[in-house]
Structure 1
């Protein structure tokens, strides 16, 4: 059985300051510089669960907002962003077994051992982000400004979908009170299912992310400019929100088919699951 690492640090944050500053900027919107843009790059939903690996990580976002100038160099910005992360998760080894406690139809507790071959999990995370940042800019040539943005974002997941597949999924039971192991009893949910495929969804909550951008703006006429930058974003805390550890493929007390896909991250309710992204930002500023 692959070990699970349990390491969770709870995080508290207060959104009153973000909401207050955002409301202030909205009230000053007439004087602000409006921007729209897109982000594209590597989007990684990191976890501290051992024995798994990730691949094909992609991330991107659509963003709009404005920056209120404090003086010729500094400004405060906010806005609204829609982001999406896509990645694949699998075990480090082709065949793996994880165990957890379950209760059968007669309310008897047992150890549920789920073994799969070539388990793959395609994950799609969609979220809204509310940024609040400070921008520093400096003119370095005619029509060209250097820009640096640093701040935080409130990251609110909208939906975290998973699509799981495996060559086969075999669920067995061990009843410690009577020292009984059950390998094949399909009418009670124990046995093997070939060509497993199912969809599911993780329960989530909002977190805070740090955000940094470094780039340049290029004036296009008197009222607009192009913006290009590199960005780095890092989440703190965990977006996972569940009360109990669950089998990555759920137990069904009446059949070995149509088992629910709970997902690998659900095996540890205290796991740190957080988004991290870096890549390129392209935007259009309106003065």
Structure 2
């Protein structure tokens, strides 16, 4: 799905230019952040995520407003193979341009992932007074989620890479000068190639007046992405092939093994903010 970020920015600029019946807000959110994946054979752990945000709400009526802004978010999680002894196969080309099956087995492979992103929200807010100085707030809308960097830190006790040439029924498992063989204490970093997607957003909370022009905002939030943030044109071995050595193998990551995988951020937790006019 294509999403025109220029249109969102244009709407936000228009709202900011309207100075009447408006308020600015700053805040932070924290909770459980997960980069969901449908890549088979992988297991992901949940971790704390968060964001800092700033924006603007323009009141259309006493109850209804339109808001926009900018946010910087962070997701972190650990990913591993469900079966630590499984052998995964990918197709590669050696320096002589011969095709072969590259088979990787990694003992105790673990992957620390960290994702940083810019989010541009556009939402509708409904609010109503429920007590003196206390308003109920409901926000629903969408965000443009633009990954800035999706980093991988991969480790394994042992990595073994072998080659199988089906044309001649030949298996090579101990030729380190050509990239085939074992390696102990594997450690490498890498980065996923990404693209922007749309996220839905929902917030439910309260504002508490702290003066004539200021209020404290507290809410629960839920966000979910649509589409995949991964942007690659081919399947890759999660530990790359190095044609000259069994060391310095690139960390392509488990999510890179399926170019058609759906990798999307999902988060829920609490938001605290400060509104001021």
The TM-score range, normalised by the shorter chain, is over 0.9
Map of 1:82 onto structure 2? 72
Map of 1:217 onto structure 2? 207
For structure 2, the 5+ residue unaligned runs are none
Determine the C-alpha separation between the residues in 1 that align with 2:268 and 2:53.
15
Determine the C-alpha separation between the residues in 2 that align with 1:261 and 1:250.
6
Deviates more, 1:24-33 or 1:100-109: 24-33
Determine the C-alpha separation between the residues in 1 that align with 2:226 and 2:178.
42
Is 1:204 the counterpart of 2:189 in the alignment? no
Report 1:220-259 matches (<5 A). 220-259=210-249
Length, aligned pairs only: 277
Contact 1:166 1:196 in 2 (8 A): yes
Is 1:143 the counterpart of 2:136 in the alignment? no
Q: CA deviation at 1:94?
A: 2.3
Q: What's the secondary structure of 1:43's corresponding residue? A: strand
Is 1:55 the counterpart of 2:45 in the alignment? yes
Q: CA deviation at 1:12?
A: 2.9
Is 1:27 the counterpart of 2:17 in the alignment? yes
Q: CA deviation at 1:241?
A: 0.5
Contact 2:235 2:256 in 1 (8 A): yes
Map of 1:69 onto structure 2? 59
Q: What's the secondary structure of 1:95's corresponding residue? A: coil
Q: CA deviation at 1:30?
A: 5.5
Q: CA deviation at 1:29?
A: 4.2
Contact 2:34 2:46 in 1 (8 A): no
Contact 1:29 1:66 in 2 (8 A): no
Q: Deviations over 1:158-191 (max 9, x none)?
A: 0000100001110000001111011111000000
Tell me the TM-score normalized by structure 2.
Answer: 0.98
Map of 1:274 onto structure 2? 264
For structure 1, the 5+ residue unaligned runs are 1-10
Determine the C-alpha separation between the residues in 2 that align with 1:95 and 1:198.
19
Q: CA deviation at 1:23?
A: 2.5
Contact 1:209 1:233 in 2 (8 A): yes
Is 1:101 the counterpart of 2:91 in the alignment? yes
Is 1:134 the counterpart of 2:124 in the alignment? yes
Q: What's the secondary structure of 2:45's corresponding residue? A: strand
Q: What's the secondary structure of 1:251's corresponding residue? A: coil
Map of 1:5 onto structure 2? none
Map of 1:3 onto structure 2? none
Deviates more, 1:269-278 or 1:26-35: 26-35
Q: What's the secondary structure of 1:225's corresponding residue? A: strand
Determine the C-alpha separation between the residues in 2 that align with 1:85 and 1:96.
27
Determine the C-alpha separation between the residues in 1 that align with 2:235 and 2:19.
47
Q: CA deviation at 1:26?
A: 2.2
Q: CA deviation at 1:24?
A: 1.4
Q: CA deviation at 1:95?
A: 1.5
Contact 2:193 2:231 in 1 (8 A): yes
Q: CA deviation at 1:21?
A: 1.8
